[in-house]
Amino acid sequence: MRYFGLDVHKSYHEGPELLPDNTIRRFRFPNEKKEWKRFAKELDGSCKVALEATGNV
């Protein structure tokens, strides 16, 4: 199982991925549709993603 934390920013997203061997990989990608698709293609049914709760006031 792989676990992701996703920290959302206006122009990019970043976070850690906990790999099956308990090591951590950091990642960052631009807030662009093609990059979201690339990120989503890395995921499968064994992945868990935690997304921070955000909002604009």
Residues 5-54: pLDDT tens digits?
Answer: 999 888 999 999 998 899 999 999 999 999 999 999 989 999 999 988 77
Residues in the chain: 57
Residue type, position 23, single letter: T
pLDDT at 56 over 80: no
Domain limits at 43?
2-51
Burial tier of 29 (Cβ tally within 10 Å: 0-12, 13-18, 19+)? middle
Residue 57 domain flag: no
28: in domain? yes
Structural tokens at position 16:
């850690």
Report whether pLDDT(57) > 60. no
Residue 36 covered by a domain: yes
Q: Give the mean pLDDT of the chain.
A: 90
